[in-house]
Amino acid sequence: MASPWLGILDDTIQACVTQNRPDLAQPLWERRSRLLEPTLRVLVLGEPGQGKSQLINALVSAQVCAVGDDLTTRVPAIVEYAETPSAAMIGQPDQDGRGAIEAGAESRRLLPVPVESVTHRANRDATTPGGDVVHARIGLPRPLLQAGITLVDTPPTGVAGTRNLSTVLSEVLRADAVLFVTDATSELSATELELLEQVTRICPTVLVALTKIDIVPGWRDVAEHDRDRLAAAEVPATVVPVSATLRLAAARNSDRALNAESGFEELVHRLRHDWLGRSEELNQRSVAAISEVTLTRLTTALHEKYAAVQHGSAGDAVTRWHAAGREVEQLQHASARGQTLLADGVADLTSDLEYDLRDRTRKILREVDEYFEAADPSRTWPEFEDWLHDQLTEVAETNFGWLFERFDWLARALARHIAPHRPDLAPDVGGGDAPLEHASGLRKPNVEKFSVGQQLFVGMRGSYGGLLMFGLATTVAGMPLINPISLGAGAAFGLKSVFEERGSRLKRRQTVAKTAAHRHVDDFFLACSKESRDATRRLQRLLRDRYTEYAEQRRAEITASAKQLKQSVDKETAERNRRVREISAGLDTLNELRDRVRSLPGQVRASVTPAPRELTA
């Protein structure tokens, strides 16, 4: 009849397969194969410098594991029974990198090495670049090993160790029992306690070897404190004080009393009788622990799936359905608001453009007035006409450039408001040609000329009055009417009349030129303003149609998506209910299996080991 623990382990493996967790099933398969083997695999753990390797040497009474202050175990060393002493280094690990201390890997390379140097060479190879040694195997004809004990010396753990916690625990999964090594120079540290707590959760068969009691007079106090700390941490581990140095000395001298004093009699007794002699109970403990951990992980994963199903699926679909409705409302609001912004922006732009155009033309007119205060249109009109054309052309280009620049900014602002996720929605307003033809067409006014004949006529008319007035005045003095004085006065009055007439005619020409320039600038303003308003309305219609089309297209897409979401709500609800029932059934199965695990006999309890008699050496 199969053992109850074997059925529980098989059911746990099946639960992992059912839940599609090969990462959990594979270690259980390996553990199952290990439990069915007749040997007891003891993993020796500890931090650096605690005496792990020397402890194994003392157990087998042979220097098979390298020791020393400058030597640290780099690769695991497996010490097992063999009819004749043998040793080898094993290389080429599996592709998945697991099983660095597993036996029976046919694909690995085996290199025979002398027993006394195998671990030293293996550790040296591990520190050499390109080294491929993954563990060393040592076979010895020892009664303890022949009884079924296989010892595994592992690289150190802890802060100064070479491995992290996950690597250590993965190796513990392949062990039947754990022999944890700590020396008597100090109490168990926090990291050691933490490691022991983790180890006992997956391998409850643990024994703590307190080494180096031969060099610590107060080792009994340390042992008691360690037992108290283990009890406080609820770690079910027994503390056995030992001295590897005394054990090896007793082996060399065949000294039974010294061997008993070393504490190894108690340690070997526990290995043989408490562990080998109760293999069925150990198997039950191991299966209960690893199954409990595995079932906890499976249950946690199912609870997470249950929570995800409850908060996802149909609830998520309904949320998206309501979100689609809100998006339609927001789109409508954004579209209406966008049209308002567009109308307001165009109104502001039209006002700004008209003011800008009026302001620039008025500046030109003021310069025209100032120019014709001194200039003679009959002489400078061609030059003035070119200047006015350049000024009006610049005004038109600047005004229309500003128009397109403002519309481009307005288009992008509306795009950010209506469709923030669509920066490409804004149309390319580009630039248009300014109505430069309105800057030309200035007609030259009819400017009268002051001819030589007109100047002679005006001069004669003015000189007549001067000649007559001064001639009559000089007749009183007995001089004739025409005399040098009257002739000089007549010439002076004639010249004065010519100059006055010339100035008067200049003023009239300047006034006519100003009037013609004002009329042309006013005509330019009216035409350019009309062109600006037409361009503004055209661009406004372009933006309005573009964003209206987008809003309608987007509204249609959202409405169609909302209909599909509404149709999928029922399907998702049905699927969610099915998943809930499936997960609930899985949880019930796991809970029943957990109850079976907890019903296995053989609870793990820490025992208090009697202290060996006081050292005499």
- Checking if the pLDDT of 465 tops 80, the result is no
Residue 161, pLDDT > 50, answer: no
Do residues 562 and 321 touch, judged by C-beta distance below 8 A? yes
**Does the pLDDT at position 605 exceed 80?**
no
Run of H or E residues at 86: strand 86-91
**pLDDT above 50 (res 261):** yes
> What pLDDT does residue 310 have?
74
**Structure confidence at residue 184 (pLDDT):** 93
Which is higher by pLDDT, 387 or 501?
387
Query: Among 94-103, 358-367, 396-405, whose mean pLDDT is lowest?
Result: 94-103
| pLDDT(534) > 90 | no
User: Is residue 541 very low, low, confident or very high in pLDDT (cuts 50, 70, 90)?
Assistant: confident
3-17, 95-109, 131-145, 479-493: least confidently modelled range: 95-109
Report the C-alpha gap between 360 and 24 in whole angstroms: 83
- Is residue 32 within 8 A of residue 3, CB to CB? The reply is no
pLDDT in tens, 76-132: 899 999 999 999 988 865 454 444 455 444 445 678 888 888 888 888 887 788 777
Superfamily of domain 39-61+142-279: P-loop containing nucleotide triphosphate hydrolases (3.40.50.300)
pLDDT at 7 over 50: yes
pLDDT mean across residues, the chain: 80
Report which secondary-structure segment, H or E, holds 497. helix 484-598
**For the chain, how far is it from start to end, CA to CA, in angstroms?**
53
- With CA atoms as reference, report the closest residue to 572 among 325, 327, 310: 310
Cβ atoms within 10 Å, residue 68 = 9
CB-side neighbour CA atoms (13 Å) of 18: 17
Bridge-partner residues for 86, per DSSP?
A: 139
Q: Taking Cα atoms as reference points, which of 289, 230, 240, 300 lies closest to residue 265?
A: 240
Query: Distance (Å, rounded) from C-alpha 81 to C-alpha 138?
Result: 8
Counting residues of the chain whose pLDDT is more than 70, the rounded percentage is 85
Nearest to 177 by CA among 66, 279, 264, 257: 279
580 vs 498, more confident = 580
Q: Evaluate if residue 602 carries a pLDDT over 60.
A: no
Closest by CA to 502, choosing from 472, 562, 557, 459, is 459
pLDDT of residue 244: 92
Show the tokens assigned to 32. Answer: 């199952």
Per DSSP bridges, beta strands 86-91 and 110-112 are antiparallel
237 in helix, strand or coil?
strand
pLDDT in tens, 401-412: 888 888 888 888
Higher pLDDT, 463 or 152: 152
Domain locations in the chain as residue ranges: 39-61+142-279, 330-596
Report the SS3 class of residue 211: strand
| 270 or 559, higher pLDDT | 270
- 353-377: b (≥16 Cβ within 10 Å) or e: bbebbeebbeebeeebeebbeebeb
Q: Quick one: pLDDT band at residue 314, thresholds 50, 70, 90?
A: low
Q: CA-CA distance, 347 to 341, in Å (whole number)? A: 10
Label residue 472 exposed, middle or buried (CB < 10 Å: 0-12, 13-18, 19+).
exposed
Residue 104 to residue 5: CA distance in whole angstroms: 25
* SS3 assignment, position 238: strand
Does the pLDDT at position 611 exceed 60? Answer: no
Q: Is the pLDDT of residue 29 over 90?
A: no
pLDDT of residue 496: 77
Task: Concatenate the DSSP letters of all residues of 326-337 into one string.
Answer: HHHHHHHHHHHH
Q: How far apart are CA 500 and CA 469, in angstroms?
A: 20
